Structure 1
Amino acid sequence: MPDIHIHRQHRLGLPRAREIALQWAEEVEAKFDMECTIEEGETTDTVHFKRIGASGTLAVSGEAFVLDARLGFLLGAFARTIESEIERNLDALLEAEARPAAKRAAARKSPAATKTTARKAPAAKPPR
């Protein structure tokens, strides 16, 4: 059983999920000195990552990200902290993807639904 298991559902489809997985791999390589390799498949890609004291995989499909990691003895003491950091990192990438999608959805609304009316300021009363 892995020391860390993270599962995140999404609706991005495989092409966009691949892009996010690549971005995730680049970030963990830079931030945590990980060595990452990506194995592409028809329906699922696998990011293999490793460094001294840690190794694992991030399985990427059109519907989910599934991360399993094993930690060595020294890093095992920090499993909860490491898991929280990985969750924050992955969730931030997914949230960043959701924001543009929400903006696109708002832009597709009908002009009548998004039309705002300007209110005129009341005219100033003349001095007495």
Structure 2
Amino acid sequence: MSDIHIRRQHGKTPTEARASAEHMASELKDEFDLDYAWDGDVMRFERSGVSGELAVDKQEVTLDIHLGFLLFALKPSIEREVHKFFDENFPA
């Protein structure tokens, strides 16, 4: 398996940060057919070949993605796309 790990300060209130995370998850669901559900401040998501979680706290947002074997070759393009979503939803 191949992993992607992103951690970023968000500079938002917890409510704003969660709303941004929800917006990002909704976009990813539409674009990549990801299923997701919240468990407290942690959103878990999955689809065939991909699983992970997005955790939101008072200061930062952390994303961990686990790519299955078949998506390993696509890791660079997936990582670029995820950074793009982070830049749009959690600008530095």
Q: Flag whether TM exceeds 0.5 (same fold).
A: yes
Residue 39 of structure 2 corresponds to 39
Q: Which structure: larger Rg?
A: 1
- Kindly provide the amino acid, as one letter, of the partner of residue 3 in structure 1: D
Deviations 1:85-128 (A, max 9, x none): 00101111123xx8xxxxxxxxxxxxxxxxxxxxxxxxxxxxxx
Q: Which residue of 25, 43, 46 maps to 1:50?
A: 46
Is residue 84 from structure 1 mapped to residue 80 from structure 2 by the alignment?
yes
Residue 60 of structure 1 corresponds to 56
Give the secondary-structure state (helix, strand or coil) at the position aligned to 2:12. coil
- Distance in 2 (alpha carbons) for counterparts of 1:52 and 1:71: 9
- Distance in 2 (alpha carbons) for counterparts of 1:92 and 1:46: 20
More strand by share: 2
Q: Which residue of 51, 61, 65 maps to 1:69?
A: 65
Counterparts of 1:9-20 in structure 2, within 5 Å, are 9-20=9-20
- Distance in 2 (alpha carbons) for counterparts of 1:52 and 1:17: 27
1:50, CA displacement in angstroms? 0.2
* Contact persistence 2:45–2:52 (CA under 8 A): yes
1:2, CA displacement in angstroms? 5.9
Q: Segments of 4+ in structure 1 off by > 3 A?
A: none
Query: Where do 5+ consecutive residues of structure 2 fail to align?
Result: none
- Distance in 1 (alpha carbons) for counterparts of 2:52 and 2:90: 20
Deviations 1:21-43 (A, max 9, x none): 11111111101000010112xxx
Give the secondary-structure state (helix, strand or coil) at the position aligned to 1:77. helix
- Distance in 2 (alpha carbons) for counterparts of 1:7 and 1:55: 17
TM-score normalized by the length of structure 1: 0.67
Which protein has greater RCO, CA pairs closer than 8 Å, 6+ apart?
Answer: 2
- Distance in 2 (alpha carbons) for counterparts of 1:3 and 1:77: 12
